[in-house]
Amino acid sequence: MRAITRPADTGLQVDASTGLAPGVPYVPSPNCDERPPGFAPELIVVHGISLPPGEFGGPWIERLFTNCLDAGVHPYFAAIAGQRVSAHALIRRDGRLVQFVPFHRRAWHAGASCWRGRERCNDFAIGVELEGTDTDPYDDAQYATLASLAAALMRAYPGIAPDAIAGHDDIAPGRKTDPGPAFEWPRLRALLRSALELPRGGLPA
């Protein structure tokens, strides 16, 4: 496993009143709605995505989340161009963060899902996409940004406990595989402990 480095000191913050991260590019997605009454963020779900599959860069993820994906550009796009999906945020390979949905609103990212006995994770989860695949190592900068974002979300929304972070494959086993075996959970947890200034026992290894 690669060396664990401290999260980048990005000064990343989340404004709970607007649901936005000031200074982060915001590309509004229509694929969202209000959370049910009484629901607030309590879980962070980590996803992995690449469009076309296995290729990085380009505008295709943003176009998928904003319903602007041209089905004729690539054969794979014909199967997904009509989907109405979104995540709250995307972390590019170089660690750049893009936001699509205010964090207090419900993005359509998890689908049929269950976490600790609770179904319909979209109702109480925040979805973060990492540009990547199940089998390609994720970039150092992505881990740093994800840890910084998760810490900022946990500070903005106290209902998200330090251990309330899971993969799409954890909440939809057998249906989803991302972020996949290439994702290093111990590395993220170590970075998150550092970002939250928790003792070593503050999160599972």
Q: How far apart are CA 96 and CA 38, in angstroms?
A: 32
DSSP string of 26-56, one letter each residue: B---SSEEPPPTT----EEEEEEE-SSTT--
Listed residue (118, 125, 130, 113) closest to 175, CA to CA: 113
Q: Which of 42, 62, 119, 129 is catalytic?
A: 129
- In the residue annotation, 129 being an active-site residue is answered as yes
* Of 158, 140, 157, 141, the residue nearest 88 (C-alpha): 157
Q: With contact defined as beta carbons under 8 Å apart, do 120 and 99 qualify?
A: no
Question: Looking at this protein, which amino acid is placed at residue 179?
Answer: P
- State the Cα–Cα distance between residues 77 and 81, nearest whole angstrom: 5
At 14, list the tokens.
Answer: 């989340």
Tokens 């994702």 appear where?
183
Catalytic residue positions? Answer: 129
